[in-house]
Structure 1
Amino acid sequence: MKHVILIALCSMSLSGCLSTKTEEQQKIPIKPNLLIVLSDQHSYDMVGAYGNTQVITPNLDKFAQEGMLLENSFSNQPVCTPFRGMLMSGMHPLKNGAFTNDCPLLPNKSVLLAQKLKNEGYQTAYIGKWHLLGGDRDRGIPKGDLRYGFDKVITNNCHLDFRAHKSFFWNEKGEKEFFDEWEVYGQTKQALTYLDTIDKSKPFALVVSWHPPHDWGKKKGKDGKAHYRYDTLEEFMSLYNPDSIKVRQGIEPTPDLIDMYHGHMSMISGVDKAFGMLMNKLKETHLENNTVTVFTADHGDMLESYGALLPKQYPYDYSNRTPFLIKYPKKIKPNSKSDVLFGNLDFMPTILGFMDIPSKQNYDGKDLSDALLTNDQSAVDFVPIFNFERGTVKKHSWRGVITKAYTFTMNGGDNPLEMNNVLFDRKNDPYQLNNLFYNLAYKNKRLELEKLTNESMASFKDEFYVEKDFKSVEPEETWEYNYSKSPIELFENKINQIKQ
C-alpha cells in the first residue's frame, strides 16, 4: 500500500513539474519564421492576381488570396544590386554602397537584416542569385562579413544561362557544381532540403532568389535585329499559344515582341510552379501558420515598351513597379489588399514590424506593417525613385518621386528631352502613354514635384540636381507624344526642330 501511495505522490509531483514546465514553455513567445522569395525582372502586371488574364500563375494567385497583395509596391532603384542592398539594409544606396550593379553592399555600416535576425536567435540561409559581391561574378561568396549575417549561402552569383548542365552554384566548400536540371528547379530543391534539415527548436530566415524570368542574353530576331532572349523549358512554353498572346496597351505586337512575351511568361509559369513547391513544403512541415512569407521582385521588365532599349533602369511602372505578396496568418487577413505606397527601402523595417522584432536603428525606409494592415493612406506621401550610373555616363541617371497621383522624374544627361524626363498622371493614364513633362498646362505640377524630389535628395545628401531652370528647356508650345511610335525617334525629331 505504501508503494502505491509513494508512486501516486511521485506521479502527482512529476505531473506538477511537467505542468509547470509546459506552462513556462507556453509563456515563451514563439518567434515567426521568415521566407523571402525573389523573382528577377518580374513586373507587377505579369501575375494573374494583378489582373493579367493570360499569364498562368495559379500558385501565386492562390497565395494572394491567402494573404495580402500590395497594389503600389516599387523598386526605388530598378536594378538588381541596389534592390538587394536596400532590401537587406533599409538604407539608401549612397549609404550602403550598393548604388549600381557589381558595387558590393558595405558590411558594418549598419545592422543588416540577416545580422539582426541572427542576433535574435534565427538560423539564416540564402539560396540562389546573390549579386552583392561585386567584381568578378564567376566566384562563390567568401565566408565572413561579406555574407552579411547568413549562416548558409548557396549561390550561382548571377550567371545567365539557366539550362541544365549550364547553370551552376557554388557549394559551401567554394566549389562550382552544375545543376542537372533547370536552375529554378535545382535551387528550389536546395531550399526544400534546407527546410528538412533545420533545427526545429529555432526560428529560421530563408531567402530563395530565382534569376528567371530575367532575360538570358540576346538573339537575332525575325527582323534581323537583336532582341532579348526569354525562351525556356518546353513544359512551360507549351502552356501558351503565341497566336493568342496580347502585348501591353499602346505597343505594336511585332513577331519578335510576341516571342519575347511567350518566353517571359513561360518562365514566370515555371517560377510559379517552383513557388508552389515551397508553399507545399511549409504546409507539410506545419510551418505555414508561423511563417512570414513574402514574394516580390528586384524590378520589372520593359519588354521593349515605349521603345526602351533596356529591360530596366527606367522610371516607368513596367520597370520599377513590382509584385508584392505577403502572408502571415497570425496578422494578415486572407484576400486583403493595400494600396499604400511602398518602396523596397521600407522592406526591412516593415518585415521586422510584422515579426514584432524591435529595432533602434534609423532606417531610410519606414515600418509600414501597421499601415498596410489598416490600409492607412496617410502613412506615406511619396516613394523616392532614382537611378545611378558609374562615372560620367549619365544617360540613365535620373531622380524623382511617385505619389498616389503622379510619377515624376528628371534626368541628368545633356539631352533635355531624353525619355527619363517624365510626368505621368497615375489615375487618368495608368498605362503611361501620355508624358506631361513638357505640357505647359502641367508646368506648376512639374515644378512642385521637382521641389519634392530635391527635398528627398537632400535628405540622402544626393547632389544630383540641386537647382534647374526648366524655362531653358521649355518648348514654345505644348508638346505631347504617344507611344504607338518609338519615343526615342520622337525625342530626336523634337531636338532637331529645337536646334533649327
Structure 2
Amino acid sequence: MIAFSLKKIRLSFILVVLMALLSQHVLADGEKKFPAKPNIIFIFSDDHAYQAISAYGGKLMQTPNIDRIAKEGALFANALVTNSICGPSRATLLTGKYSHMNGYKRNDRTKFDTGQVLLSKAMQQNGYQTAWIGKMHLNSLPIGFDYWNVLPGQGHYYNPDFISQPSDTTRYTGYVSDLITRFSINWLDKRDNSKPFFLIVGHKATHREWLPDLQDLGAFDAKDFPLPATFYDDYKGRSAALTQDMTIDKTMRLTEDLKVNVNYEKNPIYKRFTPEQKKVFKAYYDKISQDFEARKLSGKALIEWKYQRYLKDYLSVAKSLDRNIGTLLDYLDKSGLAKNTVVIYASDQGFYLGEHGWFDKRFIYEESLKTPFVIRYPGVIKPGTKVNELMSNIDWAPTVIDIAGGKVPAVMQGTSFLPLVAGSKTARTPWRKEAYYHYYEFPEPHSVHPHFGIRTGRYKLAYFYQGADSWELYDLEKDPSELKNIYGTKGTEKLTADLKVNLKNLMTAYKDTEALKILESIK
C-alpha cells in the first residue's frame, strides 16, 4: 500500500514537471524560458508625442505611469511607424502589414477590410479572449474580438457615444479617458477567467482639439514653455516642408483649437456638455479669452501666445491620459493580474509640439516618424531595458502573437521583436538595420506631399512626389533636427546611391509596386 502511494506521488510529480515544461515558451537558442500564454494589454493612444513623456527625456511634463511601464520593462528609443497618420497606423497594428498591403492608406471614408488576416483573429485562434475598448477609427466595427465597446469615428472628449455589440449606441456622461478606463476594468472583472486575455485600450487622447478634463484645466498655466530651437524654421532647401499647411502660426485656429471666444450654444461639441460641466469649462476659457483680447497681440507675440496655449491644453489632456494608465496599472496590482500580464503602451504615431513651427504629424521627419513604445513583461524583460534598434509598427502584431506562443501568419510583414528584450543574445542579430516609410494623404487636410523613404541608424533619404518632386537626405548624427538637406552635395554621391539601392530593395521586399513605379520614373 505504501509502495503504491509512492508510485502515485512519483507519477504526479512527473506529470507536474511535464506540464510545467509544456507551459513554457522557449527561445531558439535556449537562453530564456517564459510563460506561453500571459495576458496582454495594449494601451494605444492618439497623437501622443514622445517629447511629452518624461521617460523619453521630455522636460515638458512628468508622466509617472507611462514611466513606470518603462522602468519595470523596456523602452524603445527608435520605434517607428510606416505611415504617420491615425487610421492607417491602427490598420497596421491589426494586420502587421504596410498600408499598401492592408488597403488603408489614408484617413478617409475607406472601410477597413476586416476579412483579411488580423491580430485579433490570430489571438482568438490561439485560445485568447479578446476585447477592444475605446477608439478604433477604421470606419468598420471590430472583428475578431469577443467583446468591444468603441467610439464612433474620432469620438468626443465629453459625454461620448460608444458602440457595443450588437451595434448599439449609448451616450455616457463623463470624460472619455475615464470612461475608457472604467469600461476596460469592468470587462476585466467580468471576463472568462478560464482563458488568457488580449485587451486593446484605445484612447482618444491626445487628439485635436485637446479638451482637458475639468480637474486638469489650468494644470500648466503657471509654466512658460521654451520655444523649440526649430520653432522659426524657414524650411530652406525643403520644398515639401515649405508648402505644408500645419503651422501653429497659420493653421491653428483660435476658436476651435484654442477655445478663444467660443460660442457654447452653437458649437455641437459643447452641446454635449451637462450644465455643470459647461459652467466650469466656460468659466476657465472665458478668462483665457478676456486675457487674449486685452493683449491685442500680433506678429511673433501672437504666434508664441498660440504656442503656449496649445501646449497647455495638449499637456493637460496628456495628464489625464497618464493618470488613467496609472488607474489601470493599479487595478492589475490589486487584482493580482500584474504578475502575469504584459502591458504595452504606444501611440499611433509621433506628433509635433512646435518643432519646425508645427503641430500634427505625417512627415517622415523624426518627430512624427518616431512613436513612444514601452513594454512591461514581468519575469521576462529586465526592468530598465532600453532598446536602440530600429523597430517598426509592422512588428507589433507579430510580437504580440509571439508573446502568446502562437505562430505568426506568413502574410504579416513585420518580425517579432521579443528576442531583443527577452534576454536572448544570439537572436539579437541580425536585426533590422533600416526601415521603410510611405505616406499618401494629399492635399487635404494639411497639404503634406506624399512621400516615401528609408531610415537607417544614421541617415534618412526621402522622395516627395505629386508636385514637390524632390529628394531629401539627412545625416541624423550631425543634423538631428533635419534642417540641412544634403541631397546632391559634394561627397554624398556614394551614400545616396547606396541608400537608393536599399530603398528599392525595401520596396521590392514589401511589395510596394506603386512606389517602385514612381522610383523608376524619376531615374
- State the TM bucket, normalised to the shorter chain: 0.7 to 0.9
Structure 1, unmatched stretches of 5+, are 135-140, 142-146, 217-229, 471-500
1:209 alignment counterpart: 202
The answer for the alignment partner of 2:398 in structure 1 is 349
Q: Which residue of 1 aligns with 2:258?
A: none
Name the counterpart of 2:460: 407
List aligned pairs for 1:284-295, cutoff 5 A. Answer: 284-295=334-345
CA distance in 2: counterparts of 1:63 and 1:185, whole angstroms = 19
Residues 168, 183 of structure 1: 8 Å contact kept: no
Cα distance in 2 for residues equivalent to 1:466 and 1:370: 34
Matched letter for residue 361 of structure 1: A
Q: How many angstroms apart in 1 are the aligned matches of 2:364 and 2:48?
A: 15
- Helix, strand or coil at the partner of 2:105: coil
Taking the aligned partners of 1:359 and 1:160, their CA distance within structure 2 comes to: 32
Question: Is residue 462 of structure 1 aligned with residue 442 of structure 2?
Answer: no
Cα offset for 1:259?
Answer: 0.9
Q: 1:235 to 1:391 in 2, by over 3 A?
A: closer
Tell me the SS of whatever aligns to 1:170: strand
Distance 1:381 1:19 in 2: 47
SS in 1 for 2:486: coil
What is the CA–CA distance in structure 1 between the aligned matches of 2:222 and 2:365, rounded to whole Å?
26
Which position in structure 1 is the counterpart of 2:153?
Answer: 158
Is 2:77–2:386's contact at 8 Å kept on the other side of the alignment?
A: yes
Q: Tell me which residue corresponds to 1:96.
A: 102
Question: Which amino acid counterpart does residue 413 of structure 1 have in structure 2?
Answer: Q
| CA-CA distance at 1:330 after TM superposition | 2.5
Superimposed CA distance per residue, residues 375-412 of structure 1 (whole angstroms, 9 cap, x where no aligned partner):
84741111111112379999521100110001221111
- Is this contact kept in 2: 1:43–1:320, CA < 8 A? no
Instruction: State the TM-score, normalizing by the size of structure 2.
Output: 0.76
Aligned counterpart, 1:221: none
Which secondary structure does the structure 2 equivalent of 1:379 belong to?
A: coil
Contact 1:395–1:413 (Cα < 8 Å) also in 2: no
Residue 347 of structure 1: SS of its match in structure 2? helix
8 Å Cα contact 1:97-1:105 kept in structure 2: yes
In the alignment, structure 1 residue 236 sits paired with structure 2 residue 216: yes
Cα separation, partners in 2 of 1:200 and 1:14, compared to 1, 3 Å: farther
Looking at structure 1, the residues matched to 459 and 145 of structure 2 have their Cα atoms a distance apart, in angstroms, of 39
After TM superposition, the structure 1 stretch with the greater mean CA deviation from structure 2, 79-88 or 381-390, is 381-390
The aligned amino acid for 2:116 is K
Q: 1:64 is aligned with what amino acid? A: A
1:249 is aligned to: 229
Measure how far apart 1:154 and its partner are.
Answer: 0.4
1:331-355: CA deviations, max 9, x gaps?
Answer: 1000110101001011111222333
182 and 371 in structure 1: CA distance in 2 versus 1, 3 angstrom threshold: same
Residue 63 of structure 1 is matched in structure 2 by: 69
2 CA distance for matches of 1:392 and 1:80? 14
1:366 and 2:361 matched:
no
Contact residue 158 and residue 211 of structure 1 kept, 8 A: no
CA distance in 1, matches of 2:443, 2:353: 27
Question: Does residue 1:321 correspond to 2:366, yes or no?
Answer: no
For the 8 Å contact 2:135–2:155, the answer to whether it is kept is no
Cα 1:468–1:445 change in 2 (3 A) is farther
Distance of 1:441 and 1:23 partners within structure 2: 63
The 1:273–1:243 alpha-carbon spacing in structure 2 relative to 1, beyond 3 Å, is closer
Give me the whole-angstrom Cα distance separating, in 1, the residues matched to 2:11 and 2:491: 78
Counterparts of 1:251-270 in structure 2, within 5 Å, are 251-252=231-232, 254-270=304-320
Structure 1 stretch displaced more, 392-401 or 193-202: 392-401
Gaps of 5+ in 2: 24-34, 233-302
SS in 2 for 1:118: helix
Q: Is the 8 A contact 1:82 1:100 kept in 2?
A: yes
CA RMSD of aligned residues (A): 3.0
Say if 1:40 and 1:286 are closer, same or farther in 2 by CA, change over 3 A.
same
Cα distance in structure 2, aligned partners of 1:304 and 1:43: 11
Could you tell me whether the CA contact under 8 Å between 1:36 and 1:295 is conserved in 2?
yes
Pair 1:283-2:283 in alignment: no
Deviates more, 1:361-370 or 1:42-51: 361-370
Counterparts of 2:222 and 2:126 in 1: how far apart (Å)?
50
Match of residue 446 from structure 1 = 496
Equivalent residues in 2 for 1:131-170, closer than 5 Å: 131-133=137-139, 141=141, 147-163=142-158, 165=159, 167-170=160-163
Aligned partners of 1:301 and 1:318 also within 8 Å: yes
Which range is displaced more, 408-417 or 55-64?
408-417
Q: Distance in 1 between matches of 2:316 and 2:488?
A: 39
Q: Report the AA paired with residue 464 of structure 2.
A: N
The separation in 1 between residues aligned to 2:214 and 2:227, in whole angstroms, is 21
| 1:333 equivalent among 376, 382, 391 | 382
Pairing 1:117–2:123 present? yes
Alpha-carbon separation, structure 2, partners of 1:314 and 1:14: 66
CA distance change for structure 1 residues 443 and 12 in 2, over 3 Å: closer, same or farther? closer
Looking at structure 2, the residues matched to 452 and 27 of structure 1 have their Cα atoms a distance apart, in angstroms, of: 43
Paired residue for 2:43? 37
| 2:492 counterpart SS class | helix
> Which one-letter code corresponds to 1:241 in the other structure?
D
User: Structure 1 residues 395, 431: CA separation in 2 closer, same or farther (over 3 Å shift)?
Assistant: closer
Rounded Cα–Cα distance in structure 1 between residues aligned with 2:79 and 2:202:
18
- Residue 425 of structure 1 corresponds to which residue in structure 2? 475
What is the one-letter code of the residue matched to 1:407?
Answer: K
Is the 2:46–2:204 Cα contact (8 Å) retained in structure 1? yes
Q: How many residues align?
A: 433
Structure 1 CA distance for aligned equivalents of residues 43 and 131 of structure 2: 12
Q: Any idea what SS the aligned residue of 1:293 has?
A: strand
How many angstroms apart in 2 are the aligned matches of 1:388 and 1:469?
A: 18
Residue matched to 2:251: none
**How far apart, in 2, do the equivalents of 1:97 and 1:416 lie?**
25
Shift of 1:235: 2.5
Structure scoring higher RCO (CA < 8 A, sep ≥ 6) equals 2
Which residue does the alignment assign to 1:224?
none
2:104 partner letter = A
After superposition, the C-alpha distances for 1:227-250 in whole angstroms (9 at most, x for unaligned) are: xxx241242243323542224322
Q: Deviations over 1:300-324 (max 9, x none)?
A: 222453244x612111111121000
Contact 1:34 1:205 in 2 (8 A): yes
